[in-house]
Structure 1
């Protein structure tokens, strides 16, 4: 198995730029995942985010999770639930940060700043993908824009120690519905795996790195050149794994379809649809293969007249 792609973004500024861009392209084509270091978010700031996230879990969520687990005796395999404790933050188009209970002021302030840094990073990465794909700079951001800008939010998760990891997944296998996912994960407790060439491969925990993965919408826009990949989290017997997954997604009314510049002689394989329609379908089919979702959108496309793509 080839080594999991780890990319030093600082190398984009020197003579290794071309080679680094090639590694990014290969990762998008053949892995659907890569890990970035020297990405511009300081290690000290990431340490603060991690410290406050872990403190919040201990203070506000750990006991609730223990009570939930006690009510679900782990005697037989459980296939309809995940071994995770989570809450969702929405940043764009409108933040819900003020409405989330139990967040103290410092944590709210830090997460708002973290979201802003990740938003900038996501847009820089999308432009790197545009460059590799031969699309004009800003194309992917525009394709995601809709009428109110992109949807951007963070799923804050903790995966506590599990006494019987053979009976339940930390998070069941799925592909991500959206655009580009930026993950700040625990560097001490592993668990994230992706499916490559029929085998489950560990995504290595690395201090101060951010894991990037491709969502279903980028697969559609690239007409399958870049693909979203099945991944899961394995529950562990020891250690509490922290995971902050930030999703830079199209706006709800954005019209998604393969970029005409990428079709060339190839036929358009993927459908044209409104992102919100895809999300409604995904909600019930998250833990199933993605191909039937694309087929369902294709069937819908024939019965729905879509307007022109909205641009910023």
Structure 2
């Protein structure tokens, strides 16, 4: 986290980008067990993931009501949506992807100046390397996040500013620049293993020339389609916890590609590290809908993500309360 937390690692793995440039077969430690190996292509979606027009969502007429109904439907079905009408020029979004790709094309010694290993052995979230996160000044307009959070609160029967008001000056935003090099065995290797986000909400700008993102719905993996100049927005574990399970944080993964590299940029919006995540009291009913999740500090939850992710489990399962 940005507070400088570091993890001791037993063995330093090779950086995947450099490894991929010199091998024809993925090393054994990257190979997924046979029973867990992914299909390179996901299933066809039973219906398209709705595209939400944020300009209509923020309007004050009948268009807003119909767009809000569409938002409710897609969040209940998928937990994520593709957003247009966000006010960002296609040239800007294209430049973000180009700059991201340009960084990864730099010589290794230049990229290593931003290594996420302290003294060559202590792992931290920020920096270049495997599971790399780079924190920079906010790139995507906060008004997008504010608008979506306001509408999520409204859908849950809360005051529109309920979630936005939780984001004070100590709230954290993480920018994660992802690079997925070409892989000789995409049917044996994940780009990013199945997980859900520890954020409250995530906004991503994805490569509009190479697919690879898949989302899990009712036990089936579906390819998320490419819609040029659209942003991908999904609720995170924070919203699932605060909504007491009424809205679900989608499980997703990234596939590798044998022919082309892929890049993306994701912005993870989280609360003040010292704030506690817990179900909103108004959404808890001892008889009809008892509390589903225990209370946990944001910083502990984010730290738990990295520890459970390494084991292939979900951190949200560690705070679920068993209902007997």
Query: TM-score, normalising length from structure 2?
Result: 0.73
Aligned length: 255
SS at match of 1:24: helix
SS at match of 2:190: coil
- More helix per residue: 1 or 2? 1
Question: Which of 255, 261, 265 matches 1:240?
Answer: 261
SS at match of 2:142: helix
Match of 2:274 in 1: 253
Deviations 1:158-189 (A, max 9, x none): 11211111221010011111210001000110
Question: Which of 195, 201, 222 matches 2:243?
Answer: 222
8 Å CA contact 1:36–1:209 kept in 2: the answer is yes
8 Å CA contact 2:295–2:319 kept in 1: the answer is no
Q: 1:64 to 1:51 in 2, by over 3 A?
A: closer
Question: Which of 209, 232, 254 matches 2:230?
Answer: 209
SS at match of 1:52: helix
Question: Which of 145, 160, 164 matches 1:122?
Answer: 145
Question: Which of 48, 51, 69 matches 1:6?
Answer: 51
Match of 1:20 in 2: 67
User: Matched residues in 2 for 1:176 and 1:246: separation?
Assistant: 11
1:1-312 equivalence runs, <5 A: 1-12=46-57, 13=59, 14-60=61-107, 87-90=132-135, 97=136, 112=137, 115-145=138-168, 148-264=169-285, 265-286=288-309, 287-290=312-315, 292-295=317-320
Q: 1:4 to 1:243 in 2, by over 3 A?
A: same
Listed as ranges, the gaps of 5+ residues in structure 2 are: 1-45, 113-128
Q: 1:221 to 1:60 in 2, by over 3 A?
A: farther
User: Matched residues in 2 for 1:250 and 1:186: separation?
Assistant: 28
8 Å CA contact 2:296–2:319 kept in 1: the answer is no
User: Matched residues in 1 for 2:261 and 2:269: separation?
Assistant: 26
SS at match of 1:283: helix
User: Matched residues in 1 for 2:96 and 2:250: separation?
Assistant: 27
Q: 1:156 to 1:247 in 2, by over 3 A?
A: same
User: Matched residues in 2 for 1:292 and 1:185: separation?
Assistant: 28
Q: 1:62 to 1:26 in 2, by over 3 A?
A: farther
User: Matched residues in 1 for 2:267 and 2:151: separation?
Assistant: 18
Deviations 1:171-219 (A, max 9, x none): 0011111210001000110000010011001111221111011111110
Structure 1 stretches of 4+ with a deviation exceeding 4 A read 60-65
Residue 291 (structure 1) shift: 5.1
Q: 1:55 to 1:116 in 2, by over 3 A?
A: closer
